Amino acid sequence: MAIEKFEAGKQFAAHLTATDPLGSYRDRFHIPKKRDGSHAVYLCGHSLGLQPKSARAYVEQEMKDWEQLGVEGHFQARNPWMPYHELLTASTARLVGAKPDEVVVMNSLTVNLHLLMATFYRPSTERHKILIETNAFPSDRYAVASQIRFHGYDPADSLIEMSPRAGETNIRIEDIEALGQAEGERIALILFPGVNYYSGQAFDCDRITKAGHAKGCVVGFDMAHGAGNLALKLHEWDVDFAAWCSYKYLNSGPGGIAGCFVNERHARDTGLTRFAGWWGHDKESRFRMGPDFQAIASAEGWQLSNPSILALAALRASMDIFDEAGMDRLRAKSERLTGYLEYLLKQNGSNRFQPVTSSDPAQRGAQLSLRISTNGRKVCDQLAGAGIICDWREPDIMRVAPVPLYNSFMDVYCFAEEFFRAIGS
């Protein structure tokens, strides 16, 4: 993509906003309001996505069917609850670049990571290590360390945490490859994020997967910040497994139901070791209630329980919008929107902040993280007071995420204006 020339000034922001081909999608979402009733500038979709206006009707349909049908709703609801999760399969597969039998929505993210590791982390004396990054999201680190202990190993020996080079904020892909080359034969599992939650670095999942597979490692990804943000190709990249939450870029609401990818090479193998539950049992014979588990020969075979229909309904509202807009178009807008934010920030000579997210569009998603060494939290609070919603991560990072579905170029402009005021004061 040719690098677009941006201009400073509010008029140019208005021009970009008026000519944005995806601009109308903003009207499909509830934008939080400031005290005076005007719209806030919401740049926090990396933490909790906004509510699609259609979500209420999707949820109310199920409330109504429950009210009127009781248990019969499992088969007689307008969208029968028994196979309700299947309504999300096609759109989820499109979103992450998977085949339909490679994806399932279920549980929450950390739960899914554990369930997938129950299958895909099978340590042996020769090969027991897990490779993650030093600044992994705490829940992921807790999960892998506890898996290592569960198998009788010690994280001090079995957990490799990879850091950027001294003085750098992003991990270089060639360093990941070199580590794979040197240590790969002892690594059972590589678990990397699609996008690091803190630095905003997007990783080259294709190359990481190839490097891991070359040494016989299983390669999984936490796509919490990747799903709905990047144009993923999980099948083509030959990723072994992935999991993500849906309340961030996927707008499913607080605590919404999560997603999983299991490569069809594994998904079809009903003999794989797993933690089983009745919802993963072969659909034809599930209600014979027999004693022996027979896995569904797809990602659905990792399901445990019948899922929350209300949570699925809210997610459907958002996934239908993603299907309409298309991830490729959203990613194209996202690159422009984040590029415009970066451009505006560069107009200011202040040395009170430094972007830590890569300046290479291929190595970032919708988020720019700004390091503010002194009084950063005050800056963030001051912005919040002015109705600009970002977030603060200790010790010194402000995360700003212009989301292509509902943020406008004008949002980005208003943020920059208020940010410069706050940083100058």
Ligand X SMILES: *Cc1c(COP(=O)(O)O)cnc(C)c1O
Contact residues toward ligand X (CB under 6 A) are 108-110, 137, 139-140, 193, 197, 222, 224-225, 245
Q: C-alpha dihedral over 5, 8, 10, 15, to 10 degrees?
A: -10
Q: How far is the CB of 94 from ligand X (least distance, A)?
A: 22
Are 366 and 401 spatial neighbours (Cβ–Cβ below 8 Å)? yes
* Smallest separation (angstroms) from ligand X to the CB of 256: 9
Min separation Cβ 245 and ligand X, Å? 4
108 or 270, CB closer to ligand X? 108
Least distance CB 216 / ligand X (angstroms):
25
Question: Strand ranges (DSSP E) for 197-313?
Answer: 218-222, 241-244, 259-262
Q: Name the minimum Å distance from CB 115 to ligand X.
A: 12
Task: Considering the complex, state which of residue 92 and residue 408 has its C-beta at the smaller distance from ligand X.
Answer: 92
- Comparing CB distances to ligand X, the nearer of 109 and 267 is 109
Q: How far is CA 324 from the centre of its chain?
A: 19
For 355-359, the CB contacts below 8 A with 24+ separation are 356/169, 356/170, 356/199, 356/200, 356/397, 357/169, 357/199, 357/200, 357/201, 358/170, 358/200, 358/201, 358/202
Q: In what order do the strands lie in the sheet with 129-133?
A: 103-105, 259-262, 241-244, 218-222, 187-193, 129-133, 159-162
Closest to ligand X by CB, 116 or 224: 224
Phi, psi for 29 (deg, rounded to 5): -120, 150
CB of 57 to ligand X, least distance (A): 25
Q: Are strands 218-222 and 241-244 parallel, antiparallel or unpaired?
A: parallel
Indicate the residue among 61 and 108 with the shorter CB distance to ligand X: 108
User: Closer to ligand X at the Cβ: 245 or 250?
Assistant: 245
